[in-house]
Amino acid sequence: MASKRKASKKKAKKSAAKSTPKAEPKKSSAKKEPTSSAKKAKAGGKSSSKNAVKKAATKASKKSTAKASKKAAAKGRVRKKSAVVETKVVDASAKTAKVAAPAEKAKKTTSKKAAKAKPEPKPEEKKVEEKNHRLRSQPVEVQEIDVRIARERYSRIKPFTPRSFGPDPKKGPKPNDLRDTLNRNMGKALPLSARNRPSTVVELGIFAIFALGAKSAKAALEATKRCVTNFADWNEFRISEPYEFCEFLEDLNIPELYDRCERVLHFVGDVYQDMNEVTLEHLRDCTPDDRLELLSRYQSLGPALTHYLGLAIQDFEGVIFHYSWARVGQRSGVLGRSNSPKTLGANLMKAFKGNDLLSVQVNMIELGEEICTSVRPNCKSCCLVQMCVNRKV
């Protein structure tokens, strides 16, 4: 038993010895300091690099100073040359001034004599005003004011102030009475026969400007012919002044001649700005509605003249729908209420039976645009107030 115990103790000691790890040797925490030779080598390397940097800096500074000195010398040379040139120019200008002085004096004296000899300007020349073209750079409010001023200036509607408005009419007026009152207060839109008709659409527009509200279609046609033949081309036509037209159109007795001539110039100028040439022949191939839409871009014409020119292109015949004449016809009681343009056009043809439909349409459009407006109509100054069913007096 004792031997067994001894053997077990030995085994336990051996197993304990195996399980315990061996102690590792301790590392020295102190770092090894460099030797004196290594320190000297490092110091020598640093000093050599510093010397190289200093040498490079000195070289760069020398180069920059040399360049600066060269530039300064070149600038000095240029300044000397420019000063010499300036002195030469001053001397030359002084010589020319001395030579030109007597010539300028002579010009001044001749201009004074010519000014004294000039005749007094005509009253039509004094009437020249600034053109009321709508500028694209202007705001919308200014454009609307320009349009309103142009309408008031070229308006054919005379001021109408009756003594009494009378009782309210129960029925609408007769078509012939309405046509006669419009023609009496606003004038007619004169037609032309096929023989005497101008060849181009632009000439038709000029004729329409001279003929609307005038007394004679022959005078308007003669005015268009003179306007076209008295100038070499359209460029000379465009840069001329209204009083130049008045000089060779005075004998035709056209009312408001100066304003009409100015409107003609505006119309031709608008066409040139829009088309880059003075032509409107493409309108012959358009439908009536498209024709009116294209012509409405020209501010110089206005709604009534655009309608007049649109009817002139189709031989001064037929009916072209416009909201203004439809509004006047329905309010006055001549036409029945309808929302269809076709039925309104047919009703207009039936009511007037083809008698002077040209003047009826144009005059009703102008009345509807200026007085019988869609909002707040000015019934008191309307020439149809005594026969209108829906008047507001």
- Rounded to the nearest 5°, which phi and psi values hold at 115? -65, -40
Task: Determine the distance from the C-alpha atom of residue 262 to the mean position of all C-alpha atoms in its chain, rounded to a whole number.
Answer: 21
Could you state, in order of their start, the residue ranges of all structural domains in the chain? 167-191+320-393, 194-315
Which of 95-104, 122-131, 161-170, 212-221 holds the top average pLDDT? Answer: 212-221
Q: What is the pLDDT of residue 162?
A: 78
Q: Thinking of the domain 194-315, which architecture would CATH place it in?
A: Orthogonal Bundle (1.10)
**310-324 per-position pLDDT tens digit:** 999 999 988 999 999
Architecture of domain 167-191+320-393: Orthogonal Bundle (1.10)
Mean pLDDT of the chain: 77
Give the model's pLDDT for residue 169.
86
Band (96; pLDDT cuts 50, 70, 90): low
Confidence of residue 23 (pLDDT cuts 50, 70, 90): very low
Whether 349 has a pLDDT exceeding 50, the answer reads yes
> pLDDT at position 111, please?
57
Distance (Å) of CA 142 to CA 137, 147, 263, 320: 10, 9, 20, 31
**Token couple for 191:** 């037609």
How many other CB atoms are there within 10 angstroms of residue 240's CB atom?
16
pLDDT digits (tens, 9 = 90+) for 147-177: 556 555 667 777 777 778 888 888 888 999 9
Q: Taking 70 as the threshold, does the pLDDT of residue 301 lie above it? A: yes
Q: Tokens at residue 250, please?
A: 């005075």
For residue 145, what pLDDT band results from cuts at 50, 70 and 90?
A: low
Counting Cα atoms < 13 Å in the Cβ hemisphere of 212 gives 33
pTM: 0.62
